[in-house]
Amino acid sequence: MKPATYILLLLSLLAQSACTKEKPHDEKQGEVVRASIGPIKTTVKMVYIPGGEYMPFYGAIDSNAVKVPAFLIDERAVTNEEFLSFVTANPQWRKSSILRIHADTNYLRDWPSDLELPKDARPDAPVCFVSWFAAKAFAKSAGKRLPTLDEWEFIAMADADTFNARSKKQYSDAIIQLYMEKGRQFKPVKQSAPNYWGVYNVFDLIWEWTDDFNSIMSIGDSRTGGENNNKDLFCAAGATSASEVNNYAAFMRFGMRTAVKAHYTIANMGFRCAKDTSNQTTQ
């Protein structure tokens, strides 16, 4: 089966399940925002992104570009070592203590104990098997937040040479090849070249949580002001609402986002943090 055919089939199957899917996650679920979270310090460099406009892959029914304000984002994903520091300071987020509403039973699956990394895990590799709730709690403890879907996709448009490489066939082809590589989540961060913005490992290590990862499922997508319901977006009409029907890498990301729930933990899914900015350059 050709890669393009496989991806479209995958999207179709995910779309069918999305038609009967429950409502998108609510930030108040599990009272994660109100929970007491101890602060931690991180040394990761944050990169200034000046913002701009981009055409979202899905939900752009009215063909309006989305404006993305300036923001700061971690140059790399959160590592095993950093997440260990987080759970050390916040016992309620350890694997033996976390509530099932906040994470499924695979949370930190390979950790031998609450405060012990897997024997063969690199401290500087991205942390995985963490839920959206845990990622959000980590970001709060670091005085940051998770990036929005629009912020993440805005950064993801870039290759090494330009801020928007989506028109280049080799851009999407290269991402597909990276997505097919097994075991990439075990590699250390910052071993490959950064993109145009100076952001590392956007595609080559892990999938990443965003704050509003399944907001596109909301009736009347707030990013574009559309009034289409879930079935318009995800069932038979779904393909017609794609702004780039040949961008198979974006199809895969879209399929992933519609398939997960906030308490899921996945073998190659981690996160990086972001922050609002007021004309800052770097931090």
pLDDT at 212: 92
- Strand residues in 149-259 grouped as ranges (E): 207-208
pLDDT at 35: 58
pLDDT digits (tens, 9 = 90+) for 44-55: 999 999 999 998
pLDDT digits (tens, 9 = 90+) for 236-245: 333 333 445 4
> Is the Cβ–Cβ distance between 210 and 149 less than 8 Å?
yes
Tell me if the domain spanning 10-276 has CATH number 3.40.50.
Answer: no
Whole-prediction pTM value?
Answer: 0.80
- Cα–Cα distance, 272 to 283 (Å, whole number): 15
CA distances to 74, 206, 280 from 46, rounded to whole Å, are 4, 19, 10
Tokens of 189: 């961060």
More confident residue, 235 or 150: 150
Q: How confident is the model at residue 234 (pLDDT cuts 50, 70, 90)?
A: very low
On the question of pLDDT at 24 being above 60, the answer is no
| Domain boundaries defined on the chain | 10-276
Percent of the chain with pLDDT over 70: 72
pLDDT digits (tens, 9 = 90+) for 127-144: 999 999 999 999 999 999
Count, residues in the chain: 283
281: exposed, middle or buried (Cβ count in 10 Å: 0-12, 13-18, 19+): exposed
Tokens of 193: 């070249």
Instruction: Please state which of the ranges 59-63, 153-157, 185-189, 209-213 shows the lowest mean pLDDT.
Output: 59-63
Other beta carbons less than 10 A from residue 154's beta carbon: 25
- Cα–Cα distance, 229 to 232 (Å, whole number): 5
Tokens of 20: 């009967």
- Cα–Cα distance, 22 to 222 (Å, whole number): 18
pLDDT at 7: 52
